[in-house]
Structure 1
Amino acid sequence: MPACLSLLGILTLSYPHNALANPIKAAGNLLTADTLYLSVENQIDEPVETNTLRINELNATAATGGKPLVFGKKTIDSDKARIVAIGGSLAAGVQNGGLYRASQLTSYPNLIARQMGAAFRQPLFSAEEANGAGYKLLIREDGPVFRYSKVSDKLAVDPKSNAGQFRNFEGEIDNLALPFHNVRGSWKDLEYYSRLALPSMESQDFIPYFKRILPVGASDKSSSYLQYVEQRATADFVIFDPGMDGHLQSALVGGDASQLPQLEEGERGDKSEFRIVKNLAAKGAKGVLVTIPNVIEFPYFKMYTPEKLAMLQGEGRVSIRTNRGTIRSMNDRDVLLPSAKVEALFSGRSSGEVLGERESLAVDEGYDETAAYRNVNWYNEYYVKFIAKENDFAVFDLYALLKKINAGGYVTDDGVEVNPAFPDGNFYSDDAIHPTSFGQAVIANECIKAINEHYGSGLPLLNTREFLK
């Protein structure tokens, strides 16, 4: 498996091979434990052609735009405006655990730019390599273990590369958001990653996408995301999404504090990720900053729960090894992470385990490994909202939006109930983390409303119903 797919494998879960003792049929193909790979034509359950056509139509509308865009005291013709997005997986358009052409076309920055009537250039995978690095889709069948098929045709991986690198993308780019990128580490250059004793999730999964857009022959010493953006981002309007990727990368491995933001001395605007905003605003750019959500509320962290396990096996058979080194019985507040041991318990292949750091997040009276994710609002308040106010940027409170959606009962402006349930809801894609195309449209509309409220822009909302399956 190419290195650029490693986080994809984590997001979309490993599955026990014994779970396929009985072969299943799908689209006329016989699947066994060793042949779980279907072509996209046979397995895809997202309306790729429909969404692609719709966005192409929106692109055509944007190309004939020319309407005035109002951002407070600043007005610019839409056909002359440059909209730039900076961020991580969500803004890039990751869906079903991977990035592919159809998911790029429904990324929320692209949808916002369409509503502005402005051109928005993305590093799109070609039609011939439309499935990007590949992605996975849930096999919908009854059972306690979640299993996936892999979309593995039309990939964009360069066959000449032993490391599974992409072919280089050529052309100007407005969507500078990159999958699996912890924007708070934007100062790190490629040489920094090459010196790591062991490859991190970040270096394995972000770097191939970053190298894809770097100019051929770029120096490792001068190739940091911060430098790349500062050299290329001259913008009239900026969508800046600091990203949930750092929090997500931390939680996926059982609590890695190095991926989480820290309070820093000095001016808040000088923090590496916000230096970009400060410099762009100084050149006259307007924009919107996006808050970071509580990732523990995503369905991924509720796929396997102590309560479900107790119903299957009874209580008292599973222990948790905390990061403090202590071992205790599992309680109903612990978070179980999809992993080989956890899936063995749920499939009945194991009746007792000691779950370690990468298999659980421990929660008890004296120690809560989920607290850092639930308390992310300190960063939103101290940094995101402060920087937005300092630079006259709007704030899109994604943290608050996802809290409302995950609580249930949220209805879009065009009357669609947003269902956060997994796997049968309409908001979360098959990786149980990133939104569907409909989910991206919901996010785009809420971001547009924040822009309109702050700047009086009068941008029209999307019809989210069109993005449903």
Structure 2
Amino acid sequence: MKKIIISTIAVSSLFFTVTSCKTDFDNDVKDIPVTKGDADFSRYVSLGNSLTSGFRDNALYIDGQNESYPSMIAAQMRLAGGGDFKQPLMNDNLGGIPSANISNKKVLVVAGGALAPVDAPGVGTTTLANIYNAGPYQNMGVPGAKVAHLLAPNYGDPAGLNPAAPTANPYFVRFASSKTTSVVADALAQNPTFVSLWIGNNDVLGYATTGGDGTNPITPVDGPIGVGFTSTYNALVGSLFPSGTTRKGIVANIPDVTSIPFFTRVPYNPIPPEKFNTAPAGSASNQNANIDALNAQVFGPLKQVLTALGQGNRLQLLSKTAGNPVLLKDESLANLGVQITAALVGAGVPAPQAGLMGQLFGQARHSTSQDLIPLTTSTVLGTTPASPFAVAPFDKYGTTYPLEDKHVLRGKFNNVNGEVEEVLAATVSFNAAIKAAATAKDLAFVDMNTKMKELDSKAGIVWDGVKYSATFVTGGAFSLDGVHLTGRGYGIVANEFIKTINAKYRSTLPQVDPNKYSGVTFP
């Protein structure tokens, strides 16, 4: 596996940065007597997806669950009459479920003098055995769940775990009250007095993390319940807060997933000139010779042909001094393979090679700053694809062999919107529906989209002198998967929920101290 290299010096300097004693969480009520205000916290239930469950480091495990944001909120609610808050804990701190092919959490190790995230060693002991008898559970965050899944019956039926066409979720299988129940039904069976709901992220995130390749489409904004986001979300909120209920609650919108480390860690031009060095170890470097040869024999002739076809900006000549952009296949482009082949043959390129170049580069282009390279793509850059067309020198992913759609979230190119713009548009529409539902039911509404953008800003977020940002690993807020938060990051989320609850229901729940929770664990 290709390692993600992180300077240990950068880690120590950035992670422990102390900028000031300023705290970016106003309206704390720590010096005011704790009261419940207009709310009743005696039976608090939280619903959501992996963000609610405490998922981090690409897994659900005990230490992470114990630092979930709902468990932090519940601890503060107990100061104002709140009751017990149980979570369906995994069996260990590995997080893997072998019988469901769910891998262990990521951990940092030192490899070759640098830090690299790898799967934790060992075999997870958590199984799909149902643990409802030890419940019910008030943290009903289900990793992988979309809005429609919370309403779906049989979502906890082991028979529905068929990988080809799943209708159930392995995490909910563990703590569902029955095979036929739904997440919402189990929540309502507890007759909660207060409910938090943070759902909808996966309705767009799955599309983004798979590079928009079609295997996990964005949920349509419109459509009937179970199909369209708006109608399904309204049905979900209506079930939790029916007309005439005295139940109080809070809902959160979803963050812009294009600003999380999973999409910001790897730049659009991550390929250094030395990647084109094919000299054996210990021999003199020939990277410049390789770049000159590729420019002369491949990218130069291709760019000339494409320029004649009015598409010269698809490809760039390789640089000897700066990072090079990723080579990708853009299925939205007209396929010019036939024209490329004919032009190259006419220029004297042997027909077999011209045909191969037409096949590979008919819809190829270099990435631009508008494209997003997923964190997971770093593990395939420079590797050899399993393809009959992968022959020297066209045998390196992202350098001389175009990456498939799943490895890149394409942005705007030639003034034509790409997958990034689809994600952004869906997020805006989903968040409008969430805000409208909160207003219609007179619920507290927390703008987590704006808060997460603060983390992605240069200033970041400061708590008691410690700065948090969306920088991968060293920012302190995001875990090793680049999507989910650390305990400290979840503390930031908990405080945003608490502030909003206090403002809406006139309660005085104190905020938590994010600095007391765990961040990334270093070897």
For the aligned pair, the TM-score class normalised by the smaller chain equals 0.7 to 0.9
Q: Which amino acid aligns with 1:149?
A: D
Distance 2:424 2:461 in 1: 24
1:150 CA displacement: 1.8
Equivalent residue for 1:263?
A: 222
Distance 1:225 1:370 in 2: 31
Q: Which amino acid aligns with 1:330?
A: H
> For the Cα contact (< 8 Å) 1:451–1:457, is it kept in 2?
yes
Query: Structure 1 residues 436-445 or 237-246, which shifts more?
Result: 237-246
Whether 1:334 aligns to 2:371 is yes
Whether 1:273 aligns to 2:233 is yes
Whether 1:391 aligns to 2:441 is yes
Distance 1:196 1:466, change over 3 A: closer
Equivalent residue for 2:380?
A: 343
Unaligned runs of 5+ in 1: 1-14, 21-65, 158-164
1:150 to 107, 120, 123: 120
Whether 1:176 aligns to 2:140 is yes
> For the Cα contact (< 8 Å) 2:34–2:507, is it kept in 1?
no
Whether 1:406 aligns to 2:365 is no
Distance 1:312 1:374 in 2: 35
Q: In the TM superposition, what are the counterparts of 1:416-431 in structure 2 within 5 Å?
A: 416-431=466-481
Q: In the TM superposition, what are the counterparts of 1:6-21 in structure 2 within 5 Å?
A: 15-16=1-2
Q: Which amino acid aligns with 2:176?
A: L
State the Cα deviation string for residues 168-198 of structure 1 (Å, max 9, x = none): 3422111111112112343444489978996
State the Cα deviation string for residues 111-130 of structure 1 (Å, max 9, x = none): 0111111234333326x534
2:501 to 448, 451, 455: 451
Distance 1:437 1:346, change over 3 A: farther
1:261 CA displacement: 4.2
Partner SS, residue 466 of structure 2: coil
> For the Cα contact (< 8 Å) 1:335–1:360, is it kept in 2?
yes
1:270 CA displacement: 8.1
1:344 CA displacement: 3.5
Query: Structure 1 residues 345-354 or 289-298, which shifts more?
Result: 345-354
Q: In the TM superposition, what are the counterparts of 1:78-97 in structure 2 within 5 Å?
A: 81-97=42-58
> For the Cα contact (< 8 Å) 1:87–1:178, is it kept in 2?
yes
1:341 CA displacement: 8.1
2:109 to 139, 163, 168: 139
Distance 1:143 1:193, change over 3 A: farther
- TM value normalised by structure 1: 0.72
> For the Cα contact (< 8 Å) 2:92–2:126, is it kept in 1?
yes
Distance 2:475 2:124 in 1: 28
Query: Structure 1 residues 398-407 or 112-121, which shifts more?
Result: 112-121
Partner SS, residue 139 of structure 2: coil
Equivalent residue for 1:236?
A: 193
> For the Cα contact (< 8 Å) 2:478–2:489, is it kept in 1?
yes
Distance 1:143 1:284 in 2: 59
Equivalent residue for 1:24?
A: none
Partner SS, residue 307 of structure 1: coil
Structure index of larger Rg: 2
Whether 1:246 aligns to 2:203 is yes
> For the Cα contact (< 8 Å) 1:336–1:342, is it kept in 2?
no
Q: In the TM superposition, what are the counterparts of 1:37-436 in structure 2 within 5 Å?
A: 68-71=35-38, 74=39, 76=40, 81-117=42-78, 118-125=82-89, 129-133=92-96, 134-140=104-110, 147-153=117-123, 155-157=125-127, 165-170=128-133, 171-190=135-154, 199=164, 203=166, 207-215=169-177, 218-219=178-179, 222-230=180-188, 232-255=189-212, 256=214, 258-264=217-223, 271-282=231-242, 283-309=245-271, 313=275, 314=318, 318-324=326-332, 326=335, 327-332=363-368, 333-339=370-376, 343-345=380-382, 351-363=399-411, 364=413, 365-436=415-486
- TM value normalised by structure 2: 0.65
1:360 CA displacement: 1.1
State the Cα deviation string for residues 240-275 of structure 1 (Å, max 9, x = none): 111412322111211146343422469x99823332
1:438 CA displacement: 0.4
1:352 CA displacement: 1.6
RMSD: 3.5
1:278 CA displacement: 2.0
Partner SS, residue 308 of structure 1: coil
Query: Structure 1 residues 404-413 or 99-108, which shifts more?
Result: 404-413
Equivalent residue for 2:299?
A: none
State the Cα deviation string for residues 208-257 of structure 1 (Å, max 9, x = none): 11111123xx34xx344344444x25211111111412322111211146
Instruction: Report which structure shows greater RCO (CA 8 Å, sep ≥6).
Output: 2
> For the Cα contact (< 8 Å) 2:52–2:68, is it kept in 1?
yes
> For the Cα contact (< 8 Å) 1:123–1:169, is it kept in 2?
no
Equivalent residue for 1:4?
A: none
Query: Structure 1 residues 376-385 or 425-434, which shifts more?
Result: 376-385
Distance 1:419 1:227 in 2: 37
Partner SS, residue 445 of structure 1: helix
Distance 1:154 1:197, change over 3 A: closer
Partner SS, residue 266 of structure 2: coil
> For the Cα contact (< 8 Å) 1:298–1:433, is it kept in 2?
yes
Distance 1:260 1:143, change over 3 A: farther
Unaligned runs of 5+ in 2: 5-32, 97-103, 276-317, 336-362, 385-394
Partner SS, residue 131 of structure 2: coil
> For the Cα contact (< 8 Å) 1:292–1:398, is it kept in 2?
yes
Q: Give identity over the alignment, percent.
A: 21
Distance 1:295 1:146, change over 3 A: farther
